Structure 1
Amino acid sequence: MPIYFFWGEDSFARDRAVKALQTKALDPDWASFNLDKLSTDQPDAILQALNQAMTPPFGLGDRFVWLVDSSIAQRCGEDLLAELERTLPAIPATTTFVMTSASKPDGRLKSTKLLQKYAEIQEFSPIPPWKTDHLAQQLRKLAQELDLKLTQRAVDYLVEAVGNQTRQLHSELEKIRLLAGTTQQPLDVDEIAPIVTASNQNSLKLFAAIRQGQTTTALELVADLLRQNEPGLRIVSTLTGQFRQRLWIKLMLESGERDDRTIAQAADLGNPKQLYFLRQEVVRTPLQAWERALPLCLELEFSLKRGGDEIAVLQTKVIELCELFRG
């Protein structure tokens, strides 16, 4: 009775996990008979999925049922709950039943408690862009899956260049694997940099220009990022993470804290050695500038989510941010 509920906004990582289960469960020659993928856009999709989950596989291999965009853990009527209570415990061992959702399960619902009892629940949310040590761990794991060897400098470069975008990260690692060929030597940053699309790195350059009050440079970088089809919300995510990290460091220093490990922990800084350089960035800038920057980033995010014109909103808020750090 393998039942899974995968949730989170990182759809690429979530769907990769589903595909791995699918490969394990299905016999390739009988996959077309035993694979059922249903979307909740279809009428009675949940009931169809439960019925298919109870159906024995045809031929070799197991049956695989995937219910996409499931709302079971957000809302569930009494009739559907009764069907879940009847069916989930009875799903045969020859069926792998997977439900996916972008939304977090509501722990107050009876349906969620039922899933907690019978299903393996796993979260697939993007790693915050400022948690560079966690991003590096994720990168090393993916590289290991691809049998790809990278130096620490190459790992650091990719984390900075790609950020928390798992889809792009996987694409970049696939390109690097082709570059590596049959070599067993770890690839260094000088070898991989020419083929990596460093959209996140450009966002970091934008942050650096804002921090130095360079309005013209910052606006040029905004234009470059949008020409590269970089989503506005992704740019904001990088900026928010960088401002948040510097604000924590500045607050800790202003409070009299001098222990590097304590400051690094408060700022979610994976490598305390980076703190030396970040100190230099924040020491000459008043605390008020860092405090006012975060609300501006939140206003920018809110405007974009409300459907504001991406170019106009980004340009306006970038100018306001630059004003904070000018002079």
Structure 2
Amino acid sequence: MPIYVYWGEDDFALEKAVTLLRDRILDPLWISFNYTGFPPEQSDAVIAALNQAMTPPFGAGGRLVWLNNTTVFQQCPDHLLAELTRTLSVIPENSVLLLTSRNKPDERLKSTKLFKQLATEYREFPLIPPWKTELLIQAVNQAAQTVGVRLTAKAAEVLAEAVGNDTRLLYNEIEKLRLYAEDGNQPIEVDTVTLLVRNNTQNSLQLAAAIRTGDTAKALTVLADLINAAEPGLRIVATLIGQFRTWLWVKLMMESGERNSQAIAQAAEVGNPKRIYFLQQEVQSLSLRQLLSCLPLLLELEFSLKQGFGEISTLQTKVIELCQVCRRN
């Protein structure tokens, strides 16, 4: 009963895993016979997928049945749960049932518990938080190794700053670097990365820095550059929330009298304790009250964007409000 469950917000990484699974299971000459995908809008998708999974494959290779962006992990009626319970354990070994979802499965549902018990692979594809620099650099190095590109340590760091947690953009930029490099045996230097890769994430951090100092004019200018570069509003907000959250934790630890960089780094989820000194300097001019006032505004901004409010005007309004909070004594 080969059952695979993939979920998470990193669409690109999830799609790559699906492609690898498909290539491993299916014979290229028999794909049209043995590969079936069911979209979420199909009312009987789950039942139809189960019936298809029970059908032996034609010709060579196995059968792959894909329930794409399924809602069975968020809601599962009793009759559907009964059918899942009856069928999942008897799916033939040469058939594979794949279920994917952007949303995290509800662990309270019986359907989720059933899949966790029976799944061959039950795997999450999360986006790395934009403020976890060390994990972003690790992801860059892993992608470079996959593509066959060598990067210097500084080049990997700059590339991580530029692409953030956008895995699709990361692979696109690494492929660009691979094509540009004349000699694949020589590590790509930071100058090459700076030349070829646009640094949108760094601009978002520059926006956070401008807000922190209360420089409304500069903040709006950086925001306009990000918008003109087609940077998604929610990604901008994610970077701001991460940065202000880090500043808040550092300030809280300072106010509590903590002086140990390791302890502060652990509380603020900063991988490199050496960054703490610089973060302390950055929050020196801000009060704890100011930082505490910023996070609700950022969460309001995130909620408004998710509700479909006008992106540009909403971002501009909240950036002005944040600058005003940070400018107060």
Q: TM-score, normalised by structure 2?
A: 0.95
In the alignment, which residue of structure 2 is the partner of 1:103? 103
Equivalent position SS for 1:269: coil
SS in 1 for 2:214: coil
Aligned residue in 1 for 2:118: 118
CA-CA distance at 1:325 after TM superposition: 2.6
Task: Count matched residues.
Answer: 327
| Partner AA of 1:27 in structure 2 | D
Contact 2:65 2:96 in 1 (8 A): yes
Query: What is the correspondence of 1:266-305 to structure 2 with a 5 Å cutoff?
Result: 266-305=267-306
User: Residues 40 and 46 of structure 1 are in contact (CA less than 8 Å); yes or no, is this contact kept in structure 2?
Assistant: no
Indicate yes or no: 2:31 matched with 1:31: yes
Contact 2:149/2:184 (<8 A) preserved = no
1:188 is aligned to 189
Give SS of 2:32's match. helix
Distance 1:108 1:232 in 2: 32
Q: How does 1:1-327 map to 2 (within 5 A)?
A: 1-119=1-119, 120-326=121-327
Q: Classify the secondary structure of the residue corresponding to 2:201.
A: helix
Structure 1 residue 175: Cα displacement: 1.2
> Match of 2:114, SS?
helix
Instruction: State the AA in 2 paired with 1:269.
Output: V
> Unaligned regions of 5+ residues in structure 2, if any?
none
Secondary structure of the equivalent of 2:283?
Answer: helix
Give the AA of the match of 1:39: P
Structure 1: runs of 5 or more not aligned: none
Question: d(CA) in 2 for partners of 1:92 and 1:218?
Answer: 59
- Cα displacement string for residues 101-147 of structure 1 (whole angstroms, at most 9, x for unaligned residues): 11221222221111011112111121111111222222222111111
Answer yes or no: is the 8 Å Cα contact 1:172–1:197 preserved in 2.
Answer: no
* TM score, norm. by length of structure 1: 0.96
- Matched letter for residue 55 of structure 2: T
Equivalent position SS for 1:64: strand
Distance 1:29 1:198 in 2: 43
2:262 and 2:314 map into 1 onto residues whose CA distance is 38
- Counterparts of 1:279 and 1:144, CA distance in 2: 35
Question: What is the distance in 1 between the residues matched to 2:14 and 2:245?
Answer: 27
- What is the Cα deviation at residue 246 of structure 1? 0.8
Q: Deviations over 1:239-284 (max 9, x none)?
A: 1100000110111111111111111111111111122211211123
Q: Please, what is the CA RMSD of the aligned residues? A: 1.4
Shift in Å, 1:295: 1.2
Distance in 2 (alpha carbons) for counterparts of 1:78 and 1:97: 20
Taking the aligned partners of 1:77 and 1:324, their CA distance within structure 2 comes to 49
**3-state SS in 1 of match to 2:36:** strand
Provide runs of 4+ in structure 1 moved above 6 Å: none
Question: What is the CA distance between 1:285 and its match in structure 2?
Answer: 2.1
Match of 2:43, SS state, is coil
Q: Matched residues in 2 for 1:304 and 1:108: separation?
A: 29
Query: How much does 1:218 deviate?
Result: 0.9
